[in-house]
Amino acid sequence: MTNRPGKGLLKYDVPILEGNLKKQVPQQKRTRKDANNEDQEDEQLTREVLDSMLPPRKFVQDGQTLIQFVSIAPATRSDVVKLQSQLDSLLQQRKARNTGICPIRSELYAQCFDEIIRQITIDCSARGKLLVRVRDELRMIISDYQQLYESAVAWGMRKVIKVEQTKDQIEEENKTLKEDNRALEANVAKLQAKIVELEKASVTTRAEIEKNYAEEIAYLKKTIAQTKNQLDQILSAK
């Protein structure tokens, strides 16, 4: 039970106190039993049929529980035109979406369909009952499609979350690999610098060795020449 609902497309009678309704029920039964007026009987039958199709609504206003029945007043051509105009106006006022699942649009079209059922049931209860079957079937189909849509959305969200988690994992792995790569590049740079130093040291050492060899060879050649001269002098003296 809620507070007084807003004005919709389904036409209702003036709300009455729930307590007054309970007092009127026995009187209504006696009236129908003793009535000789066929119109009153038809009206009561129409009321019962409508109440079974479109149950009365209850709400609280100023601390009192009120009940409101669907109107049994027949619809005129102007009422039908007015219904279409009201539907278009409410769709625009409440900013209903033209496509996709829209609760506002679904609610307004449901109210419009119920009002059409009310109007037709007053003229012919059999056609009204047929429309109720169509309405209930459509509601079931829409409910199935909505569940399917919600399941698809939930599946899509799970996939998105999984992709995001995988993306975060890949980004973390990529970050780690980049850090490892930078460390390896730094190590390669150090090794290359060390190789350059070793090559420089090797060149210097080789030059020193060659210089020492050259000096030693020159010394040996000089010693040999001196020794040969001395030997020649000794041989000449004899």
Provide the whole-model pTM: 0.60
**CA-to-CA distance for 173 and 160, rounded, in angstroms?**
20
DSSP-assigned letters across all residues of 43-79: HHHHHHHHHHHS--EEEEETTEEEEEPBP-PPPPHHH
The pLDDT profile of the chain, 238 residues, written as one tens digit per residue, is 566 677 789 999 898 887 776 555 444 444 444 545 666 676 787 888 888 889 998 888 888 888 989 999 998 999 999 999 999 999 999 999 988 778 899 999 999 999 999 999 998 989 999 999 999 999 999 899 889 988 999 999 999 999 988 988 898 999 999 999 999 999 999 999 999 999 988 888 888 898 899 999 999 999 998 898 888 888 887 6
**CA-to-CA distance for 118 and 123, rounded, in angstroms?**
9
Enter the tokens of residue 128.
Answer: 């009204």
Closest CA to 17 of 56, 74, 71, 73: 56
Who's near 22: CB < 8 A, 6+ residues apart?
none
- Burial (CB count <10 Å: 0-12, 13-18, 19+), residue 44: middle
Q: Scan for tokens 């669907």, then name that residue.
A: 70
